[in-house]
A = this chain, B = another copy of it.
Amino acid sequence: MLDGLIISIDAMGGDESPDIVIKGIEYFLTHEGEGRRARFLLHGDAELLAPLLDTAPRTRERSEVFHTDKTVSMEDKPSQALRKGKGSSMWNSVAAVKGGRAGVVVSAGNTGAFMAMSKLQLRAKQGVQRPALAASWPNMSGKMTVVLDVGANVECDAAQLTEFAILGEAYFRAIYGEERPSVGLLNVGTEEGKGNAVVKIAHERLSQSQLGLNYKGFVEGYDISQGNVDVVVTDGFTGNVALKTAEGTAKLVDSLVKTALLGNIWSKFTSALNSIALRRLRKGLDPRRVNGAVFLGLNGIAVKSHGGTDAIGFSNALNIAIGLAETDFQGALDERLNALHDEDDNIGFIT
């Protein structure tokens, strides 16, 4: 019988599963989660998992394996995964949350399939039209900016953007402990009257609200990396493009730095010293640090680790999962959503 925080794991999800998954849990238990009472339900191929658990004693002690030899591949379309993926490690890992056997599920598998299975099994919370995927991005202040939606909904209306503001704010508070996270609405300019119809209506709705939201109005793409607000709200199309553009730009600059520092004869002498500096730089931009997108607005918490991550990255996704499971994230969110929709009714907000 497991007690404490129980985390359901899709042990077969990701490019190098189940290897990275088990190493990630072991890393977490060794470096991050020692004092935390987390336990794990491992869904996957028992035969593959057994030898890995032999090399990961902390994980073995705190885990229970639930065998299935069915997996969802990284190439499956969400519709295919739903059709033929029942009983797979991914499906079962979500089912454990639905059945109340775990508080949160973590998968490094196929994002579309994971979202589809989570949505189908866990269902959207009452008061949430569309769950949203929230990701964290490092910013100038050394903290993180949460951006949502980053890909769950490629078309959104104003009421959905308003809900995303509530979801993102509650998430930021739970994870980073900020009492009143600031929220901005992504637009092409900060002046009133800028943008398309959807953001204009959402802006009006959020500005009118008496919920005590720390709403800062419109922000621009530039503000994501500057950290001018804690939470950036946008539709899943724009958010996905913004996040991937930021990733591409960070990689470009990283490559230019390398070229610049190694490109002249003098810098050859200093490259050992530079490499220390560059290691520190890369730590600041480490994709593992920002690993773990959360699917918000479901009856249950679903955390998506990057498919190509390593053990440290997977461990960070566990950190986020446990951070949410440890707080009363879902209860606090319900309260906020109810208050929002009471207000909707009072002001007659329909989009």
Please name all residues of chain B whose beta carbon is closer than 8 Å to the beta carbon of A155 when the two chains form the complex: 196-197
A276 to B261, CA, bound (A): 9
Q: A280 an interface residue at 8 Å Cβ cutoff?
A: yes
A223 to B252, CA, bound (A): 10
> Is B255 a contact of A253 with CB atoms below 8 Å?
no
Please judge, given known A-B contacts A188-B236, A237-B195, A246-B245, whether A256 and B273 are in contact too, CB under 8 Å: no
Please name all residues of chain B whose beta carbon is closer than 8 Å to the beta carbon of A223 when the two chains form the complex: 248
The interface stretch among A97-105, A159-167, A264-272, A305-313 is A264-272
Q: A277 an interface residue at 8 Å Cβ cutoff?
A: yes
List residues 218-273 of chain A with CB under 8 A from any CB of chain B. 220-226, 234, 236-238, 240-257, 259-261, 263-264, 266-267, 269-270, 273
> Is A278 a contact of B260 with CB atoms below 8 Å?
yes
Please name all residues of chain B whose beta carbon is closer than 8 Å to the beta carbon of A224 when the two chains form the complex: 245, 248-249
Please name all residues of chain B whose beta carbon is closer than 8 Å to the beta carbon of A246 when the two chains form the complex: 221, 245-246, 248-249
Stoichiometry (number of copies): 2
Q: A48 an interface residue at 8 Å Cβ cutoff?
A: no
A167 to B36, CA, bound (A): 58
Please judge, given known A-B contacts A138-B252, A253-B250, A273-B270, whether A240 and B264 are in contact too, CB under 8 Å: no
Please name all residues of chain B whose beta carbon is closer than 8 Å to the beta carbon of A193 when the two chains form the complex: 77
Q: A73 an interface residue at 8 Å Cβ cutoff?
A: no
A154 to B187, CA, bound (A): 10
Q: A284 an interface residue at 8 Å Cβ cutoff?
A: yes
Q: A285 an interface residue at 8 Å Cβ cutoff?
A: yes
> Is A270 a contact of B260 with CB atoms below 8 Å?
no
Known: A221-B246, A224-B245, A259-B281. 7 other contacts (CB 8 A): A139-B252, A155-B197, A226-B248, A238-B241, A246-B248, A259-B280, A264-B277
The 5 closest A-B pairs by CB, nearest first: A221-B244, A221-B245, A225-B248, A260-B281, A222-B248
